[in-house]
Every structure is written in structure tokens, then in C-alpha cells.
Amino acid sequence: MLVLLLIGLLKFTAAEAVGIQLLIANSPLMSWMYTVLSVRAVSDSIGSIEIAVALLVALRPFSAVASFVGSLGCTVTFLLTTSFLLSTPGAVEWSYGLPILRDAGQFLIKDVVLLGASFLTASEALGNRRS
């Protein structure tokens, strides 16, 4: 989950904090965060969670349980981010009955693959814990 670690580190930059603001503000699951925290604090919080779960997954050689917990955290993270495809205005537009990904949609579609990888690492960690 090196990708998630790098994404988490980027959340500590001003540009990324502003970059994710539209996604978070339009999310029915996460928009409440801006009523409690500043734009930078929301981004920093998300980044901290992403780094923590990435590190937990990386503990796989030492602890299958920690890796499983991290993988579940990744799964929740990527479920939330893929939900932005539905809640972000203009992320997906329909043309001739087909979905067309616009800028935000193109940015977010990678999270579908990362969601699948999260399921895979969770399954692998759980399987090794049982053996």
C-alpha cells in the first residue's frame, strides 16, 4: 500500500487540502468534517488515517492481524473515495446512455482498483492468521 502512504503524505500539503475540498464538501458521509475542522485540519486528519492504515498493512511480515486491520481501514478508505464518484458534481456525466468520467471521475477511478487490492490484502492476511 505504498500508493496509500504517498497519498496520505500529500494530504499534508496546502495544494492537496484545497484539491480534495470539493470532494469532501459534496460527500454526504464526510462533509460534516468542515463544520468541525478547517480545510487543512480535515486534510491532515485524512492523511494521518491513510498513513496509519498503510503502515498497518506494511506490518504484514510481522503481524497478520495488524495487516488485516490495516486492510480493513484501506477498504473503508477506498469505499469512501469511490463514493465521491456519485456525490461529486460533474465527476460522471452521461452521454448516449454511457457514463463518461470527467476530471474528478478520472482522478477517482483508480480507487476502484485500490479497493480490490484492499480486499485481497485483507483476505490474504486473514488466511495467514488462521494457518
pLDDT digits (tens, 9 = 90+) for 118-129: 999 999 988 876
Q: Is the pLDDT of residue 131 over 70?
A: no
* Burial (CB count within 10 angstroms: exposed 0-12, middle 13-18, buried 19+), residue 100: exposed
Q: How far apart are CA 34 and CA 21, in angstroms?
A: 9
User: pLDDT digits over 21-43, tens only?
Assistant: 999 999 999 999 999 999 999 99
* pTM (two decimals): 0.89
The model's pLDDT over 73-114, given as tens digits with 9 standing for 90+, comes to: 999 999 999 999 999 999 999 899 898 999 999 989 999 999
Question: Where are any strands of DSSP class E within the chain?
Answer: 92-95, 98-101
